[in-house]
Chains A and B, each alone.
Chain A
Amino acid sequence: MQEIIDGITQAFQLIITLNPELLEVTALSLYISLSATVIATLIAIPVGGLIHFHEFTGKRVLITIIQTLYSVPTVIIGLLVFLLISRSGPLGIFGLLFTPTGMILGQTILILPIMTGLVITALSGVDRNIRDTLISLGATEFQSIAQTVREARFAILSAVILGFGRAISEVGVAMMIGGNIRGETRVLTTSIALETGMGNFGLSIALGIVLLAIALIVVLIMNLMTSGALSDSDRVRGGPQA
């Protein structure tokens, strides 16, 4: 019990005094996971759109595969990427193993299925009537797709946030691809695993609090953005009567 209390006390000291190691690990975590999220978003929206807006044989099967990959274990992605980028692998010449870039690659692959799948779901959520309306207004194929994506923006945003959440909280890829090298590839999750093993509960708890704080901030941002849509109804109540 005393250990836990000491740990929490130490954790707050580390956070309040802005411990350099804590900051460095947090910054690297954010850098890697945000990069992976941005890259995955840039792939998931067009790919999701391509799948949603086209009819082809095997579409249902493809979507089922994507959905299955939502829950792929992080260590399997870790293994896969390890084999790809290790020196003897097909991408070995780039020397990505045990680098942040390698971790970004791994996390991107990890969150791509869930983001693509949720983008498809988001687009399916847009009323069929909207698409007809856009076409009848003279939209080209591209214009109508762009507007439909825009119409689904809030649902797509939550797909992005979910992807980021999965990226920043995973251990498998970070450990296997990054290798948890201090000052190079050590991120929040791998750090917690290591420090706990070494009995540094204070630092572990501090890192855990930071991780939770990031999750909280993400949720707050999401609520703020979606309530931007909701607050319109408040505006209505105070707005001019029609």
Chain B
Amino acid sequence: MIRISGVSRKFGEREVVSGIDLAIRRGEIFSIIGPSGSGKTTLLRLIDLLDRPTRGSIMFEDSSTEGPEHERRAIRRRMAMVFQKPGVLNATVEQNVAFGLEFRGMQKDRVHERVTSALEMVGLSGLSQRRALTLSGGEMQRVAIARAIVTGPEVLLLDEPTANLDPLSTGIIENLIVRVNRERKTTVILATHDMGQGQRLASRIGVMMDGHLVQTGEIYDIFYHPVNRPIATFVGIDPVSDGIVESNENNLAIIAVHGVSVQAVTALGKGQRVALCIRPEEVTLSLPDACPPASSARNCLAGTITRLLPYGPFTRVHVDCGIPVTALVTRRSSEELGLAMGMRVNATIKATAIHVIPDPEDKDNPPHTTTG
């Protein structure tokens, strides 16, 4: 659908996005995630043809986007973008939603018809005559979405559409995005710094860091197999560094890390410096006397609880097993086990649940901390 090849964009001397290669498939929800300032907005603006890349090219279907402005506008009119700030104009809700159609020279009665159905879809039918600037933040963002989808775009670009909204409005908008994708077969590209949102909505994710697209893949790949430390940290893992592969037989490796021996599945060979990524929800806690039967592909590490953090219906339990291990347990099981600070527990992790990443620069990294 959209093919981005080697795209870079400079503002002055600073390259805000560099060397992006990305193919967006028709009908998918693709999420660009990354911390603030990583270049997500700039990339979306390039895709919407609001800015021109300094280097590289963007193909929309089979058309080049490098032509004169009127050709770019024709392509742009097959897309729609929702910005982080809703950008509603000082007019009624209905007039706001009608802009895109009016710009295309559509007749008034048809405009009214399309606007009405778009407002119905976003659940704002009752407010069509209200001044848009008097709406709540969540409602304004729904106006912005209605305004974007009313033209029937093939591609919908969303830049942090829920960044400043409460959880309820966020939920409404997330449902709306999924509906637009399912019912209208609209390709959606969503930029967000919210990992969870990317996970909830997208079928594929691209991670941006410092202007680079560092990893692209299915949700599972990104969450369980981050390719480097920054991505691991961003997807909610505290990587444990200073590991070294001691032996590797048929991809089942023994890794020594801070004096603890851990089994993990990896192709990395003996002597390789590594960091371990353990997702908190993959760690099972049990009382010291109830260690599950030892198995070749399972690690059972004894340790002391150093911290308990409530996390919605869950509790994040930090355990010092020689290496810091974080476990995510339900609050109920936390209470059943009677978990408390300073208590001795066993942490069980399957060898397959430990993701090993090469860590050549571990000496340059700051000492590891166990902050949640």
Contacts and interface: CB of A to CB of B under 8 A. Distances in A.
Q: In this complex, which of B90, B104, B127, B148 has the most chain A Cβ atoms within 10 angstroms of its Cβ?
A: B90
B87 A129 contact: yes
Given A132-B83, A233-B134, A138 B90 contact: no
A240 B87 CA distance: 23
Interface stretch (B73-81, B232-240, B305-313): B73-81
A94 B353 CA distance: 92
B173 to A, nearest CB: 15
A130 B134 contact: no
Interface string A165-202: 00000000000000000000000000000000000000
A138 B87 contact: no
Nearest to A141: B69
A127 B85 contact: yes
A236 B87 contact: no
B98 to A, nearest CB: 10
B77 A138 contact: yes
A50 interface: no
Contacts of B203: none
Interface string A105-143: 000000000000000000000010110111111111101
Contacts of B89: 130, 147, 150-151
A132 B87 contact: yes
Interface string B171-199: 00000000000000000000000000000
Contacts of B77: 138
Given A127-B85, A133-B83, A229 B48 contact: no
B263 to A, nearest CB: 52
A155 to B, nearest CB: 11
Nearest to B85: A129
Given A136-B50, A229-B90, A239 B130 contact: yes
B50 A132 contact: yes
A236 B100 contact: no
Contacts of B144: 133
A138 B153 CA distance: 11
A140 B83 contact: no
A215 to B, nearest CB: 27
B126 interface: yes
B341 to A, nearest CB: 46
B99 interface: yes
A194 to B, nearest CB: 46
A232 interface: yes
Nearest to B127: A242
Given A132-B50, A232-B131, A232-B134, A139 B103 contact: yes
Nearest to A131: B87
Contacts of B151: 137-138
Interface in A186-242: 229, 232-233, 235-236, 239-240, 242
Interface of B: 45, 48, 50, 69, 73, 76-77, 79-81, 83, 85, 87, 89-90, 99-100, 103-104, 126-127, 130-131, 133-136, 139, 144, 147-148, 151
Given A137-B148, A147-B89, A235-B130, 18 more contacts: A134-B103, A136-B48, A136-B50, A136-B79, A137-B99, A137-B147, A138-B73, A138-B76, A138-B100, A139-B99, A140-B103, A151-B89, A229-B90, A240-B126, A242-B127, A242-B135, A242-B136, A242-B139
Among all A-B residue pairs, the 4 with the closest Cβ atoms: A133-B87, A138-B77, A232-B131, A137-B100
Interface of A: 127, 129-130, 132-141, 143, 147, 150-151, 229, 232-233, 235-236, 239-240, 242
15 contacts: A129-B83, A130-B89, A133-B83, A133-B144, A137-B100, A137-B148, A138-B73, A138-B100, A138-B104, A139-B99, A139-B103, A141-B69, A150-B89, A239-B130, A242-B127
